[in-house]
Homo-oligomer: A and B are copies of this chain.
């Protein structure tokens, strides 16, 4: 199949495409109920979309009491690629135009190996998905990277944990390799978009999405749109001071949140506890695996290990303290907690909630849900697909 290159010709068409993406197949009449256009105008715009091939007719819809209508849907052959480059692994998924995940694979990989090695891996994974018959090609791709991005150009800027990526033209390079439009964003922003599109944040215009993985970041959504800040580094909360004169951090300061709680910090604390003989559970795991990660701490906590629980609780308290400040400042309608350490689950959530509800004013917390993300590792790739579809479904 020849890949689609068309874009909506005006705002109405863009609106219709997004309705079909978010609501699935629809009849002309149902669309008409949602867009406040005259039937004639609607018919004209739908016909134009059919001509471009972006949408196709799809049989007859059920009768609503009169003549049955013809269904319209986004071209089922359209394919988006969602790529989520994490600090220690890469997720790649294929979706259709309705952003349903058709295939999703994960591969461990250290982002510090640099853009060339990582993209080789990404392209191999994309090829694998294509080979398995899920796609013949891609109409667009969204890429998430674990650091700040100059969004319009799709270029990472001064990413602390991605040496070698600074200034690398990710968007340009991947667009060339994949032969399709590409958009690049911070992985945390994509997680927020994922949860907004298909997760817990579907109906909330203003919310925060805190991702706790190797590092800590926060996606900020204002009025339904991701807010990226003046230089693209908004949401970089890992280096907010959580403990005055606390632990030294890689950034050069002391007491950063990330130095006290994150996947990396948790692993280090667990190792220390195991070596000091504070936890039999962790020590035995250390012996078995030769190393400890956040996953081991989660498992130990699930097994009732007091030391592991305490580590999680203390980390949750620190994180909750920082989030409490952000809640006072930003007054969100929802806080989503996600990322690798969500395996820590409700112990972590409870600690965070306690701090936030205690430290922020009632007006801001009164009706504020603090919840775990619904989509897990899929949030990033769904958000990536959403990013590129938002781009392609906007007037050129």
A residues whose Cβ falls under 8 Å from a Cβ of B: 148, 157-158, 160, 206, 218, 220, 222, 227-237, 239-241, 244, 251, 253, 321-322, 324-326, 328-333, 358-364, 366-368
Contacts and interface: CB of A to CB of B under 8 A. Distances in A.
Contact of A158 (B220, B332, B358, B363): B363
A234 B235 CA distance: 16
A234 B330 contact: yes
A289 B229 CA distance: 47
Contacts of A329: 218, 220, 234-237, 240, 326, 329-330
B328 A231 contact: no
A29 to B, nearest CB: 30
Contacts of A218: 329
B236 A362 contact: no
B330 A253 contact: no
A361 B331 contact: no
Q: Is the interface of A mostly helix, strand, loop or mixed?
A: loop
A244 B241 contact: no
B230 A206 contact: yes
Contacts of A231: 331, 363-364, 366-367
Given A230-B332, A239-B361, A241-B359, 5 more contacts: A218-B329, A232-B363, A236-B329, A237-B325, A241-B324
Nearest to A227: B222
Contact of A240 (B158, B253, B328): B328
Contact of A325 (B160, B228, B251, B325): B325
Given A325-B241, A358-B253, A331 B233 contact: yes
A322 B322 CA distance: 11
A363 B233 contact: yes
A332 B286 CA distance: 44
Given A206-B230, A222-B227, A325-B325, A360 B330 contact: no
